[in-house]
Structure 1
């Protein structure tokens, strides 16, 4: 008999898939580091554990890295003054690979034979530990446990002559997902993996060129969106201009589908589509596929709001803010005791009781991971007097872990990997539960449905079909052992 709940966590934040990182770089701007700090503010949702900025003033590289948010670490003028130059790159981070510590905070920097090299990485190298063992056996000395450092060592040890050729040689040895912004004396490099799993866009601020994870970061700094960096494309920006290289054989792109479901800000444009509009359409598709007998449509804030609007518009059921979220609470700090821990949930979410009492409600959320938050939200609705509580989810069941840079629980802690929908409904104590189908999700993105033989996007968290080899995982462990892998390289 189980004495502990494998899906239980002490913090509601842990019941969400967390995006891996955000990157931002600019070449050719006065006070470049200040622009980067503003851009990273707009990307804070992609990583809230740590942040860093590296700048280049044509003589020296300068870096400042810190744990916590951009605000408070990069708002002070004296910090920006310590990062001079007209070129800079930055990073916000969650620790999907490697320990949580300052030595893993990016951009990572090294002095190579060609000069300084700073790299900010969004994604995950799925053969990093295999490469790392080989590099260490040949004398490389690692300073971090981050997979990103593997790229630096591959560049440093490449037999090619030019920095560009050495960098391409390094990328041809790695597997997995990456969007990189690199700062070198020869220019700034922006590139994506051949499948384009992780996003990267290019913009201009006057004559300065910007790379960023999302278009919203361009908006915030007043830059114009130029285009996305294509899958497998490598762009070099320097004083001579902009030059594109395509060193990889062309492949059918597989961008991450969850960018549209949850990761990207709703005011961003991803793959040429408004994230907000796609999320509304997901809600509309969900209402068509799985209508609910309800009086109110209530989003689980904040990520469920656009889908709930689409569900309400399609179904004709009124949309209401039946759950109010506090934006002034960080990670729940209360630990001891189940009763007190449960009360801690209300620091972030509280039911709008006068609205809910006596009503049938349908809750709209972006996903169910462990199910603990869903359980508490359903309980909250019943305590507020709801007569029926229905749950509709704006993504298919999350049945598989992500190996491309998303902080995903091991498979045994994913509720949908252990239960069918009916048992999940019983677990969260809802009157009904339904998820959008994977074809419905693709329809919301403007596709006729999912191409089973050639999927248009990376949807491995739902389908289990991974678009790249998983060398480290397949060679060393099962999915349930994966969190131990980072420890093995410490």
Structure 2
């Protein structure tokens, strides 16, 4: 069971009645990372209470539920199940007993050594069909360490894990964050009055009045207790493997991921794309929302007018983050509409973040031409996705990857674009200032897997 999720944690010395509401707000800010389920676990100082259910954050948590969740610390989770059944049992956080008491855990990532890990846990775990996630496997391994101190149990556990993972863990008196040795996924630490916050992205901080402190480093564990925090490097980091798709697609534009602002990076990608794949056109439009800043960059660099030619229905989720192709096709059709008065008779550059299955591009080109567009030139702000990603992303098998099966010209013909151009891999990785090209995992483009 792959998972692409958002995680959140908060520790406050006071304001027990506010902990759930602040967690709720933090999860709302991370809703783009998963829309299938949401959950919050709170620690009252003596026990841990978890509430989780299927649905969006605002659907799961009503006023009455939030009133019951009081404590000094909390963790939260929004989930996207990239494979398998979306059921309540797989929602998070998870509550688990261990030798030192109890803990709750929320996880973002995907392990690539599940079969090996299952050899070391009781047969009862392997025979229980409902436990299908990496998160439940991690919880079981923590339990089997027999350690009474959660930090020692976590150190022993993560040393056995292989793949991408960020964890937030809650005990009766501690909030802990852990990031894998390669740093595939982001995790950041912030400060708030009388406490601290952990989150997948720092876009969760302003809404609750928190300030960014630092990025949790690859292989690092951050332990928050007694209104303070301490750091410990528990895994060596021989080489970073930062997921570049965080900047291309996953992260919110106002987030700072891997030390660089997402909106600024996407704008630079668009500028580079305009240099590499120029075209004569009347206007540049984006596929909202993840294509917007790349489209602005393309327009700024090329001198072509930028316009909003597609209208997004704000009440429809992200089409990439849908668990089946049929749902993706349905979502694309209802979430975007063309503004005929703007696009009719125009030669259009349509900028999108990626082509994985081709669903969105084909439908949008058809939509724009039906609205009267004279030409539609598709420009993609990432290289062709040729390989499946085992670390987190729901890239399909090779048989579904269009760029692996077809030439760029054949894809252009299929989506019915007048031209099609992708940014180069060197162009994409070359726009960063604080990260070197070798710091990124680009396996879905190059086939060079870091693990």
What range is the shorter-chain TM-score in?
over 0.9
Residue in structure 1 matched with residue 450 of structure 2 by the alignment: 467
Matched, 1:252 2:252: no
Matched, 1:209 2:196: yes
Change in 2 beyond 3 A, CA 1:84/1:159:
closer
Residue in structure 1 matched with residue 324 of structure 2 by the alignment: none
Where do residues 127-206 of structure 1 align in structure 2 (5 Å cutoff)? 127-137=113-123, 142=128, 144-160=131-147, 162-206=149-193
Partners of 2:429 and 2:294 in 1: how far apart?
Answer: 14
Contact (CA 8 Å) 2:109, 2:164: kept in 1 or not?
Answer: yes
Partners of 2:435 and 2:189 in 1: how far apart?
Answer: 29
Residue 161 of structure 1 and its aligned partner are, at CA, apart by 5.2
Partners of 1:292 and 1:19 in 2: how far apart?
Answer: 38
Residue in structure 1 matched with residue 322 of structure 2 by the alignment: none
Partners of 1:386 and 1:313 in 2: how far apart?
Answer: 22
Larger CA deviation: 93-102 vs 183-192: 93-102
Where do residues 90-489 of structure 1 align in structure 2 (5 Å cutoff)? 90-96=76-82, 99-137=85-123, 142=128, 144-160=131-147, 162-239=149-226, 241-329=228-316, 345-446=332-433, 450=437, 455-468=438-451
Residue 219 of structure 1 and its aligned partner are, at CA, apart by 1.3
3-state secondary structure, aligned to 1:37:
helix
Partners of 2:217 and 2:398 in 1: how far apart?
Answer: 31
Change in 2 beyond 3 A, CA 1:240/1:374:
closer
Contact (CA 8 Å) 1:19, 1:94: kept in 2 or not?
Answer: yes
Partners of 2:235 and 2:353 in 1: how far apart?
Answer: 35
Larger CA deviation: 20-29 vs 90-99: 90-99
Residue in structure 2 matched with residue 82 of structure 1 by the alignment: 68
Q: Please, what is the CA RMSD of the aligned residues?
A: 2.1
Residue 140 of structure 1 and its aligned partner are, at CA, apart by 6.8
3-state secondary structure, aligned to 1:324:
strand
Contact (CA 8 Å) 1:51, 1:67: kept in 2 or not?
Answer: yes
Residue in structure 1 matched with residue 11 of structure 2 by the alignment: 27
Change in 2 beyond 3 A, CA 1:140/1:364:
closer
Q: Which structure 1 residue ranges, 4+ long, deviate > 6 Å from structure 2?
A: 138-141, 341-344
Change in 2 beyond 3 A, CA 1:97/1:391:
closer
Residue 408 of structure 1 and its aligned partner are, at CA, apart by 2.2
- Stretches of structure 1 that go unaligned for 5 or more consecutive residues are 1-17, 333-340, 469-490
Partners of 1:138 and 1:353 in 2: how far apart?
Answer: 60
Partners of 2:54 and 2:87 in 1: how far apart?
Answer: 8
Change in 2 beyond 3 A, CA 1:359/1:94:
same
Residue 43 of structure 1 and its aligned partner are, at CA, apart by 0.1
TM-score by length of 1: 0.85
Partners of 1:67 and 1:56 in 2: how far apart?
Answer: 22
Contact (CA 8 Å) 2:381, 2:422: kept in 1 or not?
Answer: yes
Q: How many residues align?
A: 438
